[in-house]
Structure 1
Amino acid sequence: MNLEEKLAIYYQGSAIEDDMAKCEATNDFSKIRRNSYDYFHYKEEFLKDYFSIEDEKLKKRYEHFMKILIYGKDKEGEGGTRYVIFDYIVNRDFEKSLRYLVYGYEKRYKEQARTLNGETLIYTVFEDFNKYFSKEFQEYTDKYIDIINNNDNKKILKKMDRDAVIPLIAICSVIKNNKECDEKYINAAIKSFDVLPNLYDTLNVIAAILDKNEAIKNKFIEVLNKNEEYIIDINIILGYHLRSLDYNNPYKAREKFFNAINYPNDFAFIAQHFEDYFHYAFIYGARDLYLNHKEDFYKIYNFVENSLNSDRYNNNRNNDRNKRIFIVLSGVLLEHNDNNLDTNNLKKSITVLETIVNKFTKDNSNRYNPRPTFTTTEKIEEIFDKDKNKLFDTLIDYYTDKKNTYNLYSTYRWGNTLPEYCLSTELYYLFSLFNYDIPEIKNYKKFALDIFKYLPIQLGIRKYIEVQASIGSKTLKEVIDSLLNNKELNITLKEILLSYYFDYAGDLSNYYYDYGGKSLPTLYKELRCVDENNNVIINSVKDELLKSYFDEVVNILNDDKFIKDNIASNKNTALDILRTLYNKCHYNDYHLVYTILENTKRAEVKRHCIKVISDNEAITRPYVEKMSEKARSSELKGALKNIIKNWNLKKYGDYFKSIDEALEFIDTYYNTNYEKNIKFLDDVHLTKVLYNNGTLADERIFKYIIMEYMNLVEPARLKDCDMLAEMLDTTSFTNALEMLYIHWKDSNYEATKKNILIPYLIYSDDLKIDKVYPLIKEFAKGSRTVMAAFIVKCMALNGKNYALILVDGLTRKSPTAKIKEVAIETMENAAYMLDMTADELSDRIIPNFGFSQKGERVLNYGGEARRTFTLSIDNNLELTITDNEKQKVIKSLPAPNSKDDKAEADSAKKECTTLKKEIKTLIQNQKIRLQKVLLNGRKWTYNNFKTVFVENPIMNIFALKLIWGAYDENNNLIQSFRYMEDGTFNTVDEEEYTLPENSLITLVHPSELDADTIEKWKTQLSDYEISQPIEQLNFKYEEIKEEDIKEDKIHSLDSKTIKAGVLMSLATKYDMARGEAMDGGTFCEYILKDTYLNIAVHLSFDYMYFGMDANEDINFGDIEFCEITDGIETLINPLKVNKRFASSIYSIVKSVFGD
């Protein structure tokens, strides 16, 4: 696009509504129509284009456009940064153009206009001037450097008032963007503290360059220390400014910045926490500061104490902020029995708690948190008084309704968490003083006790534990004991357990914006407590309850009414309790499972209970047999009978040994009551179904198979039906199913009979699947999406490669978004439905692309010449083509000649091109999968190994190039070996090796071999001229040590610099996904999910963005390992993760730093 065409685009992208031709035909800009919102989004690109124009006429047209943009703006000034450089281009008066920046014009933002954040845009103005008009810019800065250095010119600066910082920003912009700028700029910045008329404004400007020069930073700290009234506000503004370095983790961004410049610890804490004084991190941060840096804590306490009596904060919203901060800091001193407590100022600060009343009045409702009026009294001690507050019932109903939990515990930064709006946040301050008794707090203490009395589970217990476990010196057990032993509160262990699970793990997903469970609203999962030695540890209420009160918790969970009323209906709560007790605690009383199963309506919970019961036949059989007859629910009764049936199936093994055995099973389980579901069979002309021996099969076998599938609510594959189907002659059985399918087709694919498709597709060959496959698109386009999705699910149950490949294809290209979503979900569930792991399913669908066992495929050109070409894959895993007539390897298939069949030749060439792409993709994908196997140690049985790596000619090449290991059932390496071309196994000493019976196979990890064995294997591969497709024997491995870990995260690489391209390559190599996209397309982590170990690895960094320059530096962060349970991630200490996996990940990441 040329620059003239781009000018038209700029007109369209501006607030100018008239077309370019009309605008260019007039200089009377008052007649040009403009939108009221006049922001121009393309300034940077526009300037770049303008300064590249050589044609003077076109340049004038660009300037005409700028004149229109700035017309009428000389008196407005608001947001004026956007007009400055345009004004200078057309008027060429530097100081006059800067009028847009003067303080008086910033009518809407007077308080913010001269703060660090408000001045950010002014910096960009001067950066543009320096870029495009460096001579004029230097003249401007030199002028004001002289003024600043000349004390006689103080009057000039005083007259400029708060606008005196505008030239200071210009001077600082040079320092900010030039590491080795002239000393005159440094000296002027330092001198500005002494001569500029407004010290607060000067501090704000200099704060932007603290990391650019040591002398400037030291002067800033010196001045701030001498002017204590600014310490809190300046550091809060600095902390807010640093948030922009990493919006996802502002605490980490600030900490990194302050550590880099050696900023005073007390100032850093204010900048880190005082902006977010209503966040949980402020409470435990204050406690941690007290424990580790007591003198800094005292300094901050005095700063805040003095601010309460400062004129600067009188009748100021920030005075309420400082009072709340003072309450928390005083709470830390109280809980540690510290005599430095300032009682008088604490009494003054307590008055801020009067705003609690506002949480119950409609007047304080806002668009983030609409709610009814809750009180007819404005006295805090009467809010929970039924007689004084006529709206008491409304209040209780609202706060006990889980639908309103979002309003209690929202994680939304600027909405509900502000104490002005959120009762839950306000309780932070009240519970900070819960153990303090003075008359001034009496009414507030009464309110706190009422919270415990009427809202213990929703608010009281939760906020008390969160605050008390994070502010003082009590261990979590001591905090819980203080609740249980307080007779005035009358809190029970049952209520504490319910409080933990009140909003647990997304049970309220309809009311939360929750991303995969990582941002759960509850703080109970990761409480920062202290142990008996005052060391800060991470703990959770659930873990402490099970550790210290296990028997009592079990007694609670054996209360059937409690389970029915509180647990069974909440999916994630029920699943967490079941997994915790039976998987982690190895609890062996299954009464809880039975109770949840009988009372839950959640399908996932039912499935889990059924699995637990089914997996423990020796203990659960008596219950199952009893309840399969007595259960009121027909669904439950059927599920239990199905468990018994599957248990009983075990006596038959994997198949029926005879027809008599099959008929014995039918006699036991054929239910004539279900025949009503297959009444339609009377209308179908079924062909006769035979046994494998050719005799007529008992009609009940076919009917049984159809009945079982017609009874299903969701598609599933039934083992008993598979065993019966194996007794039947395949041709006659599938012919009968074909008649059923025709019947369904003739009924216009009636929805009530759609389950016919389940057995039809399960037992279909590829041709029949091909026949049904087009129906997916037909139904999807014909508004029968549900039916189309049903076909997708049924097709996956077929279990053969072809069917699974078709479904897998729909995950990438699908007729509708809904079908794509279902296909993705189906592939995820296919492993479960086919009773295999997700990785085993991936093994199953590896194609061989029609290559023979020798690894060859022949393409034919037909015609008179009948030329043929053999495709094969060489040792470099690349496709090679051999011209069979010339016995010569060629780079590509030749063009057809007159003796070839052109159509057949063109088809062969097209197929060859497609194969090249598909094989390249397959090899790349399998490299990634094998790299993951090297990390996680996923194992194969010999039969599975043979299917994947021996019988598939492409995967066979991988098998030959890698070193494998045979392992026992306890994961101990028995022997490393290499697979040979003749199908035998060789040891490192080149002796033939026989795999032990029942051994498991995976890639051997170098950490499992001694140095001598590794060198021998390398020599053997070198002798055979074999290069490994993945880094196995050369893999550099380093174990994780305790000192590498901080707060359950690997932090030893924190703040190290790495090139963006290196990190991108690492993510690509190991199939890592980008983290959640933030504003502007930025993201701050790569994620590797291992479905074999159910672990997610998060590699964090400051930020990256799409299209980022590969050479740009990135500051690396932490490595986190999270356990994945039902899609919910929980942080886990790296030393508790599979050692081979965790240390391999650490080694891989560390290796890219090159040290």
Structure 2
Amino acid sequence: MMAGAGHEALLIEVAARYQQPAVLVALRAMLNQDPLDLFPAKFGAAPAFWTPHSWTRPRLASNGKALPDAALDALGAMLRFPQTEGVYAGLDQVRQACTPACLTAFAWELFCEWQEDGMDSKENWVFNALRVFGDDDVARKLTALIRSWPGAGQHARAVAGLDVLAAIGTDTAMLLLNGIAHRVKFKGLQESAREKIRQIAEARNMTAEELEDRIVPDLGLDDDGALLLDFGPRQFRVGFDETLKPYVRDQDGARLAELPKPKPGDDAELARAAAERYKLLKKDARAIAAQQVLRLEVAMCARRRWQTVVFNTFLAGHPLVRHLVQRLVWGVYVDGRLESCVRVDPDGGFTNAGDDAYALGTGDDVRIGVVHLLEMPAADVAAFGQLFADYELMQPFAQLGRDTYALTSAELASDRLQRWDGVVVPTGRVLGLTNRGWRRGRTQEHSYAWEFTKACDDGRLVELSITPGIMLTLTDEHDEQTLKQVSFGSTGRHGRVDKSAPLAALDPIAASELIRDLQWLGA
């Protein structure tokens, strides 16, 4: 481990202090050991559900030949090796030698057999096959199970599933992992997913928000954010609306309700492949859309800013996210001050409120962010509203037409917001606060949660109390919740408001968004 971390020279230096040649010889023998020889002397026998001869058989990429029975048994043995110190080198060789599709199918069928056999925790090595051979399709299917397992008392199994998503490591797998971190009804699983995202981000030397920028799949779209579906004589171009829902246009540019059925003159094979591609695209886009819309809205409320190069690469230039970016008004900030409001046109350029080209500065002091309505000059609000109407651009969330609010003078002097004390609201609506940047508070006896909290950008916290509370293992036990006080202050050790602070410390945007959330809650 130390040598692998770059400390081999130090190890040799320390060994030399013994002034015994045998010590250096032994150390070098250890460091030069063949990775294929690093396996346990004893490991478990194959379980009863190990019946690989009836599964999709791995095939060599070089000649398409299927692996013989003896090789399958060797593969099973390698999968049962502990992976505490990393993937066994032999599995990497298998992955390089065989076609990815057949290995993935083999791994999933092994996993399904384990499920059918009762998922004995002693045979959790089955996850190793998904870690090593899993792909985006495995990640999608596994995510559905991960989300359901805690409800069946299988929290540990769900956490092991998070490790598999992290090991698969594709953009789609990371996006699905991030989705669990942001939205799942089991708080313990959500916290585990958030910690996993934090670890991955830390390993890549970035923040969780920066990681989120980089893990959005492009879904195979071209540089213009479109996709051509080929039927042979006919082609259809895929676009996306303000919710990232895909649609198709025919060769004349007419928008169609759905991808047409093949005609007798079409190439049947191409048409079938195009239909499958569109079906998968719709499924993936649906999984991505809610996350990305929420991410940009939260970024607006939290006033997150991007460097120009990062914005152009991961937002305006991203094949999928660009469809949201082009439907929003962006602020150009210089030294933290709003210099201009702009929009991004289909070519990736910037235009101002007069629809004239805008030259974006490239200095280190320039940042770009989704501008909040309270920051925008009234003239820009009207001008961009007209531009978006002229171009028939619907916004992914309320920006130009956003409701804004302000605290009263009495509220500014208080540390509590009491407008909604005693208001009764549906429990489902309270749970919906998690889609607006709120988090459930720490669960207490009987897995009840009585608080929801929202972090402010200065490190302080807003806390909403409810009664009778929400039992997270049975969220429909109470149909309604009574809202209690809304507190504001510093964060305590249990993630609750500790030392209170006057609401006047909230900036106007944070105060407006807080009132807007509660107004929505009590609507």
TM range (shorter): 0.5 to 0.7
Q: Structure 1 residue 682: deviation in Å?
A: 4.0
The residue number in structure 2 matching 1:918 is 284
- For the residues of structure 2 that align with 1:975 and 1:855, how far apart are their CA atoms? 26
2:314 partner SS: helix
Q: Cα deviations across residues 24-72 of structure 1 (Å, max 9, x unaligned)? A: xxxxxxxxxxxxxxxxxxxxxxxxxxxxxxxxxxxxxxxxxxxxxxxxx
- The amino acid of 2:501's aligned partner reads N
Contact 2:239 2:248 in 1 (8 A): yes
**Equivalent in the alignment of 1:826:** 196
Closer, same or farther in 2 for the Cα pair 1:875/1:827, shift >3 Å? closer
- State the match for 1:1148 in structure 2: 516
2:34 to 666, 683, 687: 683
Distance 1:1037-1:822 versus aligned 2 partners, 3 A rule: closer
Gaps of 5+ in 1: 1-634, 646-664, 687-705, 707-743, 813-817
- Name the counterpart of 2:358: 992
Distance 1:1022 1:1095 in 2: 39
Q: Residues 429-444 of structure 1 correspond to what in structure 2 (within 5 A)?
A: none
1:1002 aligns with 2:386: no
Residue 1043 of structure 1 deviates from its aligned partner by 2.5
Cα distance, 1:1104 vs structure 2: 7.2
> Cα–Cα, structure 1 residues 784 and 1153, in superposed 2: closer, same or farther, change >3 Å?
closer
Q: Is residue 1044 of structure 1 aligned with residue 411 of structure 2?
A: yes
The alpha carbon displacement at 1:937 in A equals 1.0
Q: Which residue of 2 aligns with 1:206?
A: none
1:768 and 1:1129 map into 2 onto residues whose CA distance is 51
Instruction: Give 1:287-302 correspondences, 5 Å limit.
Output: none
| Amino acid corresponding to residue 1129 of structure 1 in structure 2 | R
Letter in 2 for 1:953: P
Give the residue type in structure 2 aligned to 1:1031.
A
Q: Is the 8 A contact 2:344 2:351 kept in 1?
A: yes
Displacement, 1:1002?
A: 1.3
Distance 1:900 1:979 in 2: 38
Do the aligned residues in 2 keep the contact of 1:797 with 1:830 (CA within 8 Å)? no
- Residue identity in the other structure for 1:845: I
**1:959 corresponds to which of 325, 329, 344:** 325
Shift of 1:997: 0.8
1:683 maps to amino acid: D
Shift of 1:936: 0.7
Aligned to 1:929: 295
Task: Please state whether the residue corresponding to 2:512 is helix, strand or coil.
Answer: helix
Please state how far the C-alpha of 1:840 moved relative to its aligned partner: 1.8
Cα displacement (A) at 1:962: 1.4
Aligned-partner SS, 1:855: coil
One-letter amino acid of the structure 2 residue matched with residue 987 of structure 1? N
Matched residue SS, 2:330: strand
Partner Cα separation in structure 2 for residue 890 and residue 1002 of structure 1: 34
State the alpha-carbon separation in 1 of the partners of residues 486 and 334 from structure 2.
31
TM-score by length of 1: 0.31
**C-alpha deviations, 1:763-821, integer Å up to 9, x for none?**
x99x9998689769968868354794887759747865255347558989xxxxx9999
Q: C-alpha root-mean-square deviation of aligned residues, in Å?
A: 5.2
Greater strand content: 2
Take 1:684 and 1:1154, find their aligned partners in 2: how far apart are those partners?
62
- 1:892 and 2:262 correspond: no
**Amino acid in the other structure paired with 1:1008:** E
Unaligned runs of 5+ in 2: 16-23, 39-73, 133-161, 183-187
Letter in 1 for 2:343: R
Aligned with 2:400: secondary structure?
Answer: coil
Report percent identity of matched pairs: 20
Task: Quickly say closer, same or farther: Cα 1:1030–1:843, change in 2 above 3 A.
Answer: same
| AA of the residue aligned to 2:247 | T
Residue 888 of structure 1 and its aligned partner are, at CA, apart by 4.1
CA distance in 1, matches of 2:254, 2:109: 45
| 1:993 Cα deviation after fit | 2.7
Asked if the contact 1:769–1:803 (Cα under 8 Å) also holds between the matched residues in 2, the reply is: no
Which residue matches 2:86?
755
TM-score normalised by structure 2 residue count: 0.62
* Residue 210 of structure 2: aligned partner: 840
Q: CA deviation at 1:1087?
A: 4.4
Partner residue in 1 for 2:223: 853
CA distance in 1, matches of 2:127, 2:276: 31
Matched position secondary structure for 1:755: coil
C-alpha contact (below 8 Å) 1:987/1:993 kept by paired residues: no
> Which structure ranks higher in relative contact order (CA pairs < 8 Å, sequence separation ≥ 6)?
2
Is 1:1035 the counterpart of 2:402 in the alignment? yes
**Retained in 1: the 8 A contact 2:353–2:383?**
yes
**Distance change (3 Å), C-alpha of 1:1137 and 1:858:** farther
Whole-angstrom distance in 2 between the partners of 1:829 and 1:967: 31
**Whole-angstrom CA distance in 1 between matches of 2:87 and 2:27:** 15
Number of residue equivalences: 421
Relative distance call for 1:1023 and 1:870 in structure 2 (3 A) is closer
Q: Render the CA deviation track for 1:111-163: whole Å, top value 9, x for unaligned.
A: xxxxxxxxxxxxxxxxxxxxxxxxxxxxxxxxxxxxxxxxxxxxxxxxxxxxx
Residues 532-574 of structure 1: CA deviation (Å, up to 9, x unaligned): xxxxxxxxxxxxxxxxxxxxxxxxxxxxxxxxxxxxxxxxxxx
Report the CA distance shift for 1:1019/1:1152 in structure 2 as closer, same or farther (over 3 A): same
Structure-2 change in CA distance of 1:1060 and 1:917 (3 Å)? same
Pair 1154,1014 (structure 1): closer, same or farther in 2 beyond 3 Å: farther
Residues 935 and 1140 in structure 1, CA contact (< 8 A), matched pair in contact too:
no
* Contact 2:301–2:509 under 8 Å retained in 1: yes
Deviation at 1:1020, TM superposition (A): 3.7
Q: 2:309 aligns with which of 943, 953, 961?
A: 943
For residues 1098 and 823 of structure 1, do their structure 2 counterparts lie closer, same or farther at Cα, with a shift above 3 Å needed? closer
| Contact 1:1005 1:1032 (8 Å CA) reproduced | yes
Alignment of 1:531-570 (within 5 A): none
Task: Report 1:638-1037 matches (<5 A).
Answer: 676=27, 679=30, 681-683=32-34, 748=78, 750-751=81-82, 754-755=85-86, 783=122, 785=124, 788=127, 793=163, 796=166, 801-802=171-172, 804-805=174-175, 825-861=195-231, 867-874=234-241, 877-884=244-251, 888-898=254-264, 905-906=271-272, 908-968=274-334, 971-989=336-354, 990-998=356-364, 999-1037=366-404
Cα gap change, 1:913 to 1:671, in 2 (>3 Å): farther
CA distance in structure 2 between the aligned counterparts of 1:669 and 1:1080, rounded to whole angstroms: 52
CA contact (8 A) 1:936 1:1140 kept: no
Q: How far apart in 1 are the matches of 2:506 and 2:106?
A: 45
Tell me the distance in 2 between the aligned counterparts of 1:824 and 1:848: 23
Instruction: For residue 916 of structure 1, report the CA deviation from its aligned partner.
Output: 2.6
Is the alpha carbon distance of 1:1122 and 1:866 closer, same or farther for their aligned partners in structure 2, counting shifts above 3 Å? farther
| Alpha-carbon distance, 1:955 to partner | 1.3
Q: Does 1:1133 align with 2:501?
A: yes
Q: Deviations over 1:1115-1147 (max 9, x none)?
A: 532223465578743435264866256313333
Separation (CA, whole Å) in 2 of partners of 1:871 and 1:1011: 36
* Structure 2 letter corresponding to 1:957: H
Secondary structure (helix, strand or coil) at the match of 1:993 reads coil
SS, match of residue 321 in structure 2:
helix
Structure 1 or 2: larger helix share? 1
Answer yes or no: is the 8 Å Cα contact 1:1037–1:1143 preserved in 2: no
Q: Tell whether the 8 Å contact from 1:795 to 1:804 is kept in structure 2 after alignment.
A: yes
Partner AA of 2:421 in structure 1: D
Judging changes above 3 Å, is the alpha-carbon distance between structure 1 residues 1138 and 974 closer, same or farther for their aligned structure 2 residues? farther
Deviation at 1:855, TM superposition (A): 2.2
Q: 1:627-646 residue pairs with structure 2 within 5 A? A: none
What whole-Å deviation, never above 9, does each CA across 1:1071-1095 have from its counterpart, x for those lacking one?
Answer: 64566789999865544467x7666
Matched residue SS, 1:839: helix
